[in-house]
Chain A
């Protein structure tokens, strides 16, 4: 009955087929990054550097070719479901006692992620070419963007923990560089550092998990780990699962490591679309899905994942209610949706979780790029209160954002409805009724705040000062395609409980198995649950329409009470970390600098030197130049020597 009862535990290795094109998928964006990076250094030295046109061509070529390759590799997999591509990328070291190889593998999970990342990544590159036009650091931007994509592809395609970790750290580094892209602004540079540090906290858990897993299974590659996972001790496995989870929490911005993501909005808006919609933040979900055999064997940690996911989803959705910055709303909505995905994978519905990753990537990328188009049109205005009436000014953006809002709110037949419902259904089916309730509540809040955003931006009349200019073609194209995705990709995973074909679950069946049985009772129940979630979402939209649908004047201020104060404070995580973690560490550092170092160490040594000096002064007073005193010392010494001689050589001579 459970999804996993029928799951294959290992991939049939016979179907592994060598294809070095896979290397190119990773290496092409990296090569682009290298060329553009050198170009940027060249630009820094020479005032007249390579033109934006050339940069755009180089920057977009890598992702575009990678996308084409990804499709070329994917098509044969569709024809022959047992086919899995693999390719050795690099042998790190091979020395007797251990061998570390970095290989790539494109199986059904990484294949679907690969398609999504390259496709959306390419669209974001195209959009960026227009968005970043005229920026002083145009080539640096594309170098980072390519490097980011390359790292992300390494993360997804690696067949082992080390390659995954390299990609994992790589996207962390790139997010640091991209979030702090406009580093002349100290706050933005600080946001980059903050993101990197919080990710590092996660990485700490992650890397310890890798070591422990290596110690238990003796393998770094996933196939080896999966083969030996049965032999691990029952006490160690939950610990491993937990440590790896810490890494996932950091990357996917879940409680308690979520605080970096909203600050990360300091980066250019297309970056937010890339990092916070399609790629980096989904890495945590991907990790759990990739190591599903670990989490299936540790139900307690899996339950913890649901709990964290549920709390994060609800918390972030509630904070999003009070945000006025269009990007902040989307940032918290991302955190919230990631919570959904965690609930999904935590409940063992890995296919459902990955499906939500997939659909979310489309509509969230559309939302972020839409926000980017608005910000671009309004001369870098991000405050929702100064927007409004943009429906006629930005028609394509409006359309893409409308369908994306409908998708994220979970209105059928848009993409988010199917994936979100799949997760809610699995929660109910596995008996997590409380978490189902949390998910449902979150769905209502999501519908409300997304349509608040929609109505504030597009409804009513324009309230800003700047004259909006229309979106250029390079922005319309990605927006249109992503909007189309937000409408259509949901049909890939129609609910199997209603007897409809669920291609997505079927596609991932080699990893997670599939259950076919759809008895009439389940059918009825699932229809009722669906109706409930659609009703809740609809209520949220209607409420938003009522309050924000037709605002012509000032946007009404929020009521000031304890709840909004708490939400404005974002539940106090930032200040808690400042006082409970950063403060004490800095205090310890200052203590070391001001007390431990000069007083306890150098002071002690200095005291020793002074003691030595004092001792030698004492000795000096013995030698005051009187010959008679020296004769006394001489005789005294002679007696001692004689005594020692007798004791050693004539034992018993002093015993009478």
Chain B
């Protein structure tokens, strides 16, 4: 099965090479020198990942053929511990890889305003790209863990050095939450290694033997390990009440880092839940479906209520992120292909739409140096292009038809409503779905209210001198907006890739 084309390996390590290459060139005070180098490497990674997409053969779900991993590269690493270097993608991780390379590319342009220590900044950014790509492509638990931890370090510095006034608090809170959660993952991975047959870190082998994982442990212990593992991913997701690091991190982080945080990093949590929770423990995860639905509903409603009450523009978007990630949990709780397709598509669409919204927060902040909603208003008079695109992004976030958010929300709700459970849990999930659907009203409320208060109404005197989007901002915004529309009209473009993986995950689940 390993094909060793090293295409994925190239994608994975290109940003790292790029990060090192930054030190080859001394800074001679050239205009945006390191920005351009970073743009080159992330652009190259994006192109290569698109090439990987073209090499990926989209087979329909065929359970007899085993798992759908393709472009697998395998090299021995620490043979004595059954640890190896192994990467590969399936319909679940491929969209995430594309999302990562796209968002990081966009993030470089969103960082055009970074002037202070730009070399170190882009060094961190590129390292982070490798780490995140590693999380999405790793097919070895040990390697996955290394990549997961590797992502924390650049993020800590990116918030801690280039952040806002309370950056130290936010960076520390971020790293404490995530590192503490990783401890659970570490314990879980070790238990899986020691208590499963065969003893290996190879995720392909483990996924194939998902029925015998932890078989030597009593069911309650199995459940404990799964819950611990999920807890780690839920911190990253983030799930209420483990979410409070996120708004703080968002508010303090520079624009591009918020874009990455919301666009990509949160998806690592959701990806982990699907890859490990569903892939490794299908029998157990189905027992947790009701809780997932309940917590998803809680995320949606609680996040939406908080978003309504915020006075800071960036916090509104941050809490909307919490709310929208609840849809992922809700979709997963459906335990049917439609729901899982919806959840994965929601991960992708949320990545693009929320990135767009954070870019706009940055655009407004760059010009006005405030994010307090009450101080803004009427900006459309001076920024017609920005407000036009913001309205589009807001409507996409609300789930207007013709845009990708509509499709993913529709699939999530339809999937969760017709969930694959029986008896009481079935009705419970339906009930939670109905309650969660209230979130679409609240979501429209806070998003459109924000739009109204920031961009509509009379323009205050002091904002008379604001300028509209520049070319770089326009470039960023147009790329993401186009993607939102294309996936809104032709969701098959992405769902065709996701579906085989979802069908397979569902086929693992107990009937």
Contact = CB atoms under 8 A, between A and B. Distances in A.
Contact of A193 (B244, B337, B414, B452): B452
Interface in B333-352: 336-338, 341
Given A190-B452, A200-B444, A211-B414, A97 B308 contact: no
Interface string A70-109: 0000000000000000000011111111100000000000
Given A96-B60, A162-B410, A593-B306, A169 B456 contact: no
A387 to B, nearest CB: 29
A612 to B, nearest CB: 11
B385 interface: yes
A94 B395 contact: no
A95 B499 contact: yes
B401 interface: yes
Contact of A166 (B307, B381, B402, B499): B402
Contacts of B244: 597, 601-602, 605
B457 A184 contact: yes
A640 interface: no
A253 to B, nearest CB: 17
Interface in B403-445: 406-407, 410, 413-414, 417-418, 434, 437-438, 440-442, 444-445
Given A96-B61, A200-B440, A593-B306, A193 B378 contact: no
Nearest to A212: B417
A91 B492 contact: yes
A200 B441 contact: yes
A291 interface: no
Interface stretch (A321-329, A353-361, A582-590): A582-590
A283 to B, nearest CB: 14
Contact of A94 (B338, B417, B492): B492
Contacts of B302: 592, 596
Interface string B468-496: 10000000000000000000011110011
B493 to A, nearest CB: 9
A145 B487 CA distance: 24
A186 interface: yes
Contacts of A96: 60-61, 337, 499, 503
B396 to A, nearest CB: 10
B448 interface: yes
A177 B441 CA distance: 17
A188 B401 CA distance: 24
Nearest to B384: A44
A294 interface: no
B457 A589 contact: no
A97 B411 CA distance: 13
A232 B364 CA distance: 53
A593 B457 contact: no
B468 A184 contact: no
B440 A204 contact: yes
A214 interface: yes
Interface in A356-410: none
A516 to B, nearest CB: 43
A203 B441 CA distance: 9
B191 interface: no
B418 A214 contact: yes
Interface string A591-609: 0110011000110010000
A169 B401 contact: yes
A197 B61 CA distance: 41
What is the interface of chain A mostly: helix, strand, loop, or mixed?
Answer: helix
A490 B80 CA distance: 89
Contact of A189 (B395, B414, B457): B457
A254 B258 CA distance: 43
What is the interface of chain B mostly: helix, strand, loop, or mixed?
Answer: helix
Contacts of B490: 90
B188 interface: no
A166 B444 contact: no
A-B residue pairs, 7 tightest by C-beta: A589-B309, A186-B457, A189-B456, A44-B384, A166-B401, A183-B456, A211-B417
A581 B492 CA distance: 39
Interface in A91-132: 91-98
19 contacts: A44-B468, A93-B499, A95-B495, A98-B337, A177-B391, A184-B378, A184-B458, A185-B457, A189-B452, A190-B452, A192-B448, A197-B448, A200-B444, A204-B438, A212-B417, A589-B307, A589-B308, A590-B309, A602-B244
A342 interface: no
Contact of A92 (B378, B380, B492): B492
Contacts of B407: 92
Interface of B: 60-61, 241, 244, 302, 305-310, 336-338, 341, 377-378, 380-381, 384-385, 388, 391, 395, 399-402, 406-407, 410, 413-414, 417-418, 434, 437-438, 440-442, 444-445, 448-449, 452, 455-459, 468, 489-492, 495-496, 499, 503
A204 B435 CA distance: 10
A183 B437 contact: no
A193 B437 contact: no
Nearest to B434: A208
A593 B309 contact: yes
B507 to A, nearest CB: 11
Contact of A186 (B60, B440, B441, B458): B458
A93 B492 contact: yes
A98 B413 contact: no
By CB atoms of chain B within 10 A, which of A177, A190, A204, A592 has the most? A592
Given A208-B434, A208-B437, A95 B306 contact: no
B452 A211 contact: no
Nearest to B469: A45
A97 B503 contact: yes
B456 A97 contact: no
Contacts of A40: 388
A513 interface: no
A540 interface: no
Contacts of A166: 401-402, 406
A588 B305 contact: yes
Contacts of A203: 440
A201 interface: yes
A184 B440 contact: no
Given A91-B492, A173-B400, A186-B452, A97 B388 contact: no
Contacts of B310: 593
A585 B442 contact: yes
Contacts of B395: 173
Given A173-B395, A200-B444, A204-B437, A586 B309 contact: yes
Given A184-B456, A207-B410, 16 more contacts: A90-B489, A96-B337, A180-B456, A183-B452, A183-B456, A184-B459, A186-B377, A186-B452, A200-B444, A203-B440, A585-B308, A585-B442, A588-B305, A590-B309, A592-B302, A601-B244
Contacts of A350: none
Contact of A207 (B377, B391, B413, B448): B413
Interface in A158-211: 162, 165-167, 169-170, 173, 176-177, 180, 183-186, 189-190, 192-193, 196-197, 200-201, 203-204, 207-208, 211
Contacts of A588: 305
A629 interface: no
A45 B496 contact: no
A183 B383 CA distance: 13
A638 interface: no
A180 B387 CA distance: 14
Interface in A302-342: none
Contact of A169 (B378, B400, B414, B457): B400
A165 B503 CA distance: 27
B64 to A, nearest CB: 15
Contacts of A44: 384-385, 388, 468
Given A180-B456, A197-B445, A585-B442, A601 B491 contact: no
A589 B305 contact: yes
A215 interface: yes
Interface in A206-265: 207-208, 211-212, 214-215
Nearest to B459: A184
